[in-house]
Amino acid sequence: MSTPNASSVAPAEDGRRGLFRRRPAAGTPAAAARDRRRSKQRRRLANVAGLMAALVLTGVGYSALAPGASAADDPTGNPSNAVEAGRELYTRSCITCHGSNLQGIEGRGPSLIGVGEAAVYFQVHTGRMPLVRQEAQAPERPPIFSEEEIDQLMAYIQENGGGPTLPSGDLRAGDLAEGGELFRLNCAQCHNFAGQGGALSSGKRAPSLEEANDMVIYTAMLSGPENMPVFGDNQLTPEEKRSIINYVQTLKAQADPGGAGIGRVGPVAEGLVIWVVGVGALLFGIFWMGTKA
């Protein structure tokens, strides 16, 4: 029976020692090296975790604080796209008279710096701009721009020139009696008591308010087009503007209790109709009776 020699036993023992190594005793150089390796690994993991947490917090913070899309933004919700589209519209239709930097051109068109989106809405929505030809007063026409294009043009003017913005909320949420008093005090001299408009000097005319919507009336007060004075928030508060709009729109909806309104321009027109119809009927009766006689 053979006995295993030392050379055959040694490799097996070495293999077992490789699989089941003892932990180095504390305080030895091997234990210190092991602790240093583990400390470096923990620091690396902590740095990676800290970086990931910072990225997540940055993303959450930006999402919470980033401004949302405004009413003048384009359908994709990107404000810069609306401004860029408005710039193209301005270059195509407005730059000839108002200049490349909204500064205006003498003899052609005024500066648009500071007019804001309120003036753009009034002028473009009522078809007064772009101007077809130079005349005493830009007439009201159907708008040539769509609602989306008007929003884009407003975004460009507001972004680069600043000025009054469009109001929000119910524009008729005002006191009717106060609105009537304010209208008679500030508006009736030009637009007459029924809002039908009237002639002004130098071939100009105060337009009728018959077809004007709430926003058109409000932006007209904010921007003061043509001969109309500017009624900023220091002259008429937003609540007073809403009261005036409530009065005007209520007045337009009322029926004429006396029959035909005759344009609601007052007793002059009514007296003229009475004279023309009455005297005409009287003359017709006289001639008819004369022929019969």
Q: At 68, list the tokens.
A: 């949302």
Phi and psi angles of residue 100, each rounded to the nearest 5 degrees, phi first: -75, -20
Unique residue bearing structure tokens 């009054």:
164
Number of alpha helices (DSSP H) and beta strands (DSSP E) in the chain = 11, 2
Residues found in the chain: 293
CB 88 within 8 A of CB 145: no
CB 98 within 8 A of CB 112: yes
- Select from 68, 72, 71, 112 the least CA-distant residue to 93: 112
The burial of 141, by beta-carbon neighbours within 10 Å (0-12 exposed, 13-18 middle, 19 or more buried), is given as exposed
Q: At 89, list the tokens.
A: 């519209």
CB 155 within 8 A of CB 83: yes
Which of the 8 DSSP states describes residue 73? S
190 is in an annotated binding site: yes
Which of the 8 DSSP states describes residue 216? H
Q: At 252, list the tokens.
A: 């337009």
97 is in an annotated binding site: yes
What secondary structure, in 3-state letters, does 237-250 show?
A: CHHHHHHHHHHHHH
CB 245 within 8 A of CB 179: yes
Phi and psi angles of residue 198, each rounded to the nearest 5 degrees, phi first: -175, 165
125 is in an annotated binding site: no
Q: Which residues are annotated as a binding site?
A: 94, 97-98, 187, 190-191
Q: Which residues are annotated as a binding site for heme c?
A: 94, 97-98, 187, 190-191
